[in-house]
Amino acid sequence: MRLVVRDRPGILLASLGIAFATGCDPSVPDDGATLGSAQAVVAARPASHPLPKRFGVGRAATEADISVLDIDIMPDGTGLPKGHGTAADGATIYASSCIACHGVDLQGTSLGGRLVPAPDVLGFPDGDVPISTKAIGNYWPYATTVFDYVRRAMPLDRPGSLSDDDAYAITAYLLWKNGIVDETAVMNAETLPVLQMPAWDRFIVDDRLGSDRVR
């Protein structure tokens, strides 16, 4: 950001293309001094009161600070932590932490969306199914995203409260309920990334820059 220091406010307005009957002329050359904003602040201070090197606000982030926030999981599983869980463990967590909003049968309630496709929806034939029918089993391209999303965002009233084992267990439970793994399957950093989701080939990577979008 640049701070433009001018001695006559009228010239600033003029440079924005606003001409006034008072005689301000947009063609008046810019005779103000242009300084970087920090420089301008320093320049405005008397030499007897120099700015301190630091203001004593905040501190450098530690590795521990960063690791709490640096929890994203890539589609290929990069970033998955140690730990494991099965659908049986996940069922217990679901019953205590998720059921109130997502419903007994995972079909959703007024408080939270469905976590399995609606029974009468075949899947994701053309990508044009109404949003309310999109769910893990017919829309999510990567199983690893289930882990990432649930661990960072759910339960909605206590995000971040699930342990890594809890997140693997609830992921196993959701994948089982969506017909993607067996009830006894163990989810961990090795098994989760190799699962192929039903909708995995329904997406393309749009890595173009600019305003065009693939529809």
Query: How many Å apart are CA 158 and CA 161, to the nearest integer?
Result: 6
Q: Token pair of 197, please? A: 């989701």
| Nearest distance in Å: CB 118, ligand HEC | 12
Residues 6+ apart with CB under 8 A from 129: 121, 138
Judged by CB under 6 A, does residue 97 bind ligand HEC? yes
Closest approach, Cβ 139 to ligand HEC, in A, equals 7
| Tokens at 52, concatenated | 């301190």
Q: Provide the 10 A C-beta neighbour count for residue 134.
A: 19
Stretch that binds ligand HEC, among 60-68, 77-85, 112-120, 179-187 (CB under 6 A): 112-120
Q: Under the criterion CB under 6 A, does residue 14 sit at the interface with ligand HEC?
A: no
Applying CB under 6 A, among 80, 106, 136, 192 the residue interacting with ligand HEC is 136
Residue in the block written with tokens 């084992």: 165
Q: Which of 102, 164, 181, 197 binds ligand HEC (CB under 6 A)?
A: 102
Q: Which residues would be at the binding site for ligand HEC (CB under 6 A)?
A: 93, 97-98, 100-102, 111-113, 115, 135-136, 149-150, 154-157, 170
